[in-house]
Structure 1
Amino acid sequence: MYNIQELLPDQRIVAAQRHRRVLYYVALAAIWTFNLYFVVRLVLCFSAADQNWRIWVTLLVEAILADVSRRDQRLTVSAGQASRSPPRKRLRLHGTSDLPQVDVLVPCCGEPVDVILDTVRAACAMDYPTSQFRVLVMDDGGSSALEAAIAALRLDMSHLFYHTRGKQSGKVFAKAGNLNYALFSLQEKVRPEFCVIFDADSIPMPDFLRATLPHLLRNPETALLTTRQYFYNLPAGDPLSQSRLHFYSCENAELDRCGLARDAGSGAVFRRQAIIDAGGYPTYSFSEDWQLSLVLQGLDQRTIQIQEPLQYGLVPTSLDGHIAQRNRWHIGHSQQLGVLFPPVNRTLPRPLQWTIAWNGFSILAGVSGCLVAFGTVPLLLVSGQLIPDAAPLLAKIQFVLAVLHVAGTWAYGLLQSAHTGFESAPFSRLENTWLAGAHLHAILRFHLLSSRPKGSFVTGSSANSWNRTATPSFLQKFHHNLWHNGIAYSIILLLATLGSMLLAIRAAIATPDSDRLLRLLTSVAWPPMLHICYLSLLSYWAPVSYLLNPPRYRERKDGLTWSRSGVAIPIAEVQQAVMLGGNPPVGFYRRCVVVTLVLGGLLAGGMSL
Structure 2
Amino acid sequence: MESDQRRDLANKGKSTSTSHENVSSLPSQGPSTDPTLAHISSPPDAEKTAPDHPGLTVAGSSRDNQEHARNVTVPSSSDSNTGSSSDEITPAGKGKVSFKELAKYDDIDLVKPWHRKLILIHPVVIAWVFVTYAAYYGYRIWCNYQYRLRYGGMEEASWIFICVEGVILVPYMAWMTVLLLSIGDRQRPKLRLRGDAVPTVDVLFTTCGEVVPMILNTIRGACNIDYPRDRYRIIICDDAADPALEEAVRPLIEEFPQLFYQARVKIEGVPHHYKAGNLQSGIDYAVHLPGGPAEYLATLDADMIPDPEWLRALLPHLLRDPQLALISPPQTFWNVPADDPLCQSICEFIHYLELRKDHMGAAWCTGSGVVFKRFVVDNMGGWPTPSMAEDQLLSFMMNGEGYKTAYLHEFMQVGMVPESIISHLKQRTRWAVGTLETAAELNWGFPGKFTKHMTFPQRWCIFTFALNTIMTIPVFIAYFIIPALLYWGRDLMVYVTPDQLRWQIRLCAIWVWSLRINELVLTLPSGYIQGQRSAMAWQFMIPYLAVSVLRCYILPKWLGGKEIAFLASGAIRDRLKERYANQRAGLKTRLNLMGIHCRIWFFVLFVMYCCGAAGLDWWRAWKIGRDSHDVEQALRHLLVNSMLPPMWWLFLVVAYLVPIVYVFFPPTVPERDDMMNFDPKTGAGQPKHKEIKQVWGILDGLREVLWVLTVVYCLILFIGTFLR
TM-score of the aligned structures, taking structure 2 as reference length: 0.75
Shift of 1:605: 3.6
> Equivalences for 1:70-469 in 2 at 5 Å?
70-80=173-183, 84-86=184-186, 88-97=188-197, 99-166=198-265, 171-187=271-287, 190-336=292-438, 338-339=440-441, 348=450, 358-359=463-464, 361-383=466-488, 384-422=490-528, 424-426=530-532, 428-446=534-552, 448=557, 452-454=563-565, 456-464=566-574
Is 1:604 paired with 2:722?
A: no
2-structure distance, mates of 1:586, 1:499: 24
Structure 1 pair 85–360 and aligned structure 2 pair: CA distance change class (3 A): closer
Cα distance in structure 1, aligned partners of 2:511 and 2:694: 34
CA drift at 1:488: 1.5
Q: Distance in 2 between matches of 1:375 and 1:89?
A: 48
- Picking from 681, 689, 693, the partner of 1:565 is 681
Contact kept in structure 2, 1:17 and 1:87, CA below 8 Å: no
Considering fraction of residues, name the structure with more helix.
1
Out of 524, 541, 550, the residue aligned to residue 666 of structure 2 is: 550
Displacement of 1:423:
5.7
Go from structure 1 to structure 2 and tell me whether the alpha carbon gap of 1:87 and 1:600 turns closer, same or farther (over 3 Å shift): farther
Query: Quick one: structure 1 residues 222 and 465, their matched pair in 2 at CA, closer, same or farther if it must change by over 3 Å?
Result: farther
What is the correspondence of 1:520-559 to structure 2 with a 5 Å cutoff? 520-528=638-646, 530=647, 532-559=648-675
SS of the aligned residue for 2:302 comes to coil
Task: Name the SS of the counterpart of 1:135 in structure 2.
Answer: strand
CA, structure 1 residues 443+132, in 2 after alignment: closer, same or farther (shift >3 Å)?
Answer: same
Does the 8 Å contact 2:338/2:694 carry over to 1? no
- Give distance in 2, aligned partners of 1:429 and 1:507: 31
Q: Within 2, Cα distance between the matches of 1:480 and 1:385? A: 42
C-alpha deviation, 1:158, in angstroms: 0.7
Is 1:5–2:101 an aligned residue pair?
A: yes
In 2: Cα distance, 1:420 partner to 1:360 partner: 20
Contact kept in structure 1, 2:389 and 2:438, CA below 8 Å: no
Q: Would the alpha carbon gap of residues 140 and 576 (structure 1) be closer, same or farther in structure 2, given more than 3 Å must change?
A: closer
Q: CA deviation at 1:10?
A: 1.0
Residue 575 (structure 1) aligns with: 690
Q: Aligned AA for 1:503? A: L
Do the aligned partners of 1:107 and 1:198 also contact (CA within 8 Å) in 2? yes
Q: Given the superposition, is the C-alpha separation of residues 33 and 168 from structure 1 closer, same or farther in structure 2, using an over 3 Å criterion?
A: farther
1:462-477 matched pairs, under 5 angstroms: 462-464=572-574, 472-477=585-590
For residue 154 of structure 1, give the secondary structure of its aligned residue in structure 2.
Answer: helix
Q: Is the 8 A contact 1:337 1:356 kept in 2?
A: no
Identity of aligned residues (%): 25
Deviations 1:281-330 (A, max 9, x none): 22111111112222223333322222322111112222211122122222
Q: CA RMSD in A?
A: 3.3
Find the aligned partners of 1:368 and 1:495 in 2 and give their Cα distance: 21
Q: What does 1:39-50 align with in structure 2 at a 5 Å threshold?
A: 39-49=138-148, 50=153
Deviation for aligned residue 1:536? 1.0
One of 47, 62, 65 as aligned partner of 2:165: 62
Moved more, 69-78 or 134-143: 69-78
CA deviations 1:70-115 (Å, max 9, x no partner) are 24432332211xxx32354433222222x11111111222222222
Report if aligned partners of 2:550, 2:561 keep a CA contact under 8 Å in 1: no
Q: Within 2, Cα distance between the matches of 1:587 and 1:10?
A: 32
Q: Aligned letter for 1:453?
A: I
The one-letter amino acid of 1:362's match is: L
Q: Distance in 1 between matches of 2:499 and 2:453?
A: 47
SS at match of 2:643: coil
Partner of residue 634 from structure 2, selected from 503, 510, 516: 516
Correspondence for 1:32 among 131, 144, 158? 131
Offset from partner CA, 1:157-185 (integer Å, 9 cap, x none): 11111122125799511111121223345
1:277 deviates by 2.8
| Partners of 1:122 and 1:569 within 8 A in 2 | yes
Tell me the secondary structure at the aligned position of residue 389 of structure 1.
coil
| CA distance in structure 1 between the aligned counterparts of 2:299 and 2:477, rounded to whole angstroms | 38
Provide, for residues 430-454 of structure 1, a one-character-per-residue CA deviation record: whole Å limited to 9, x for no partner: 4253233233334444452576424
Letter paired with 1:377: I
Q: Secondary structure at the match of 1:247?
A: helix
Matched residue type, 1:476: T
Q: What is the deviation of 1:140?
A: 1.9
Q: Equivalents in 1 of 2:142, 2:381: separation in Å? A: 50
Counterpart in the other structure of 1:14: 113
Report the alpha carbon displacement of residue 117 of structure 1 after superposing the two structures with TM: 1.5
1:501 equivalent to 2:604? Answer no
TM-score (norm 1): 0.88
Which residue identity lines up with residue 387 of structure 1 in the other structure?
Answer: M
Structure 2 contact 551–561 (Cα < 8 Å) conserved: yes
Asked if structure 2 preserves the Cα contact closer than 8 Å seen for 1:314 and 1:461, the reply is: no
Cα displacement string for residues 209-251 of structure 1 (whole angstroms, at most 9, x for unaligned residues): 1222222223332222221111122223111111122222232
Deviations 1:320-348 (A, max 9, x none): 1112212222222343464379xxx9963
In terms of mean alpha carbon deviation, does 482-491 or 457-466 score higher? 457-466
Letter of the structure 1 residue corresponding to residue 340 of structure 2: D
Contact 1:168/1:174 (<8 A) preserved = no
Quote the Cα distance in structure 1 between the aligned partners of 2:702 and 2:117: 21
Identify the residue that residue 84 of structure 2 maps to in structure 1. none
CA distance in 2, matches of 1:297, 1:163: 30
Residues 294/363 of structure 1: CA separation in 2 closer, same or farther (3 Å cut): farther
Aligned partners of 2:449 and 2:419: how far apart in 1? 39
Listed as ranges, the gaps of 5+ residues in structure 1 are none
Separation in 2, partners of 1:340, 1:257: 22
Gaps of 5+ in 2: 1-89, 91-97
Residue 52 (structure 1) aligns with? 155
2:25 matched to which residue of 1? none
Greater CA drift, 218-227 or 183-192: 183-192
Q: Structure 1 residues 465, 262: closer, same or farther in 2, change over 3 A? A: farther
Look up the SS of the partner of 2:388 in the other structure: coil
Structure 2 residue identity aligned to 1:560: M
Deviation at 1:204, TM superposition (A): 0.8
Report the residue type matching 1:317 in the other structure.
E
For 1:178, the aligned partner's letter is: N
Distance 1:307 1:357 in 2: 22
Q: Which has the higher contact order (CA 8 A, sep 6+)?
A: 1
Residue in structure 1 matched with residue 55 of structure 2 by the alignment: none
DSSP 3-state at the match of 2:591 = helix
Which structure would you say has the larger Rg?
2
Q: CA deviation at 1:127?
A: 0.6
**In 2 relative to 1, CA 497–368 (structure 1 residues): closer, same or farther, beyond 3 Å?**
same
- 1:586 and 1:339 map into 2 onto residues whose CA distance is 41
Q: Offset of 1:197 from its aligned partner?
A: 0.8
| Cα distance, 1:361 vs structure 2 | 4.0
Contact 1:249/1:424, CA 8 A, preserved across alignment: no
Q: Is the 8 A contact 2:491 2:637 kept in 1?
A: yes
Alignment CA distance shift 1:607-1:168 (3 Å)? farther
1-side partners of 2:423 and 2:534: how far apart? 21
SS in 2 for 1:106: strand
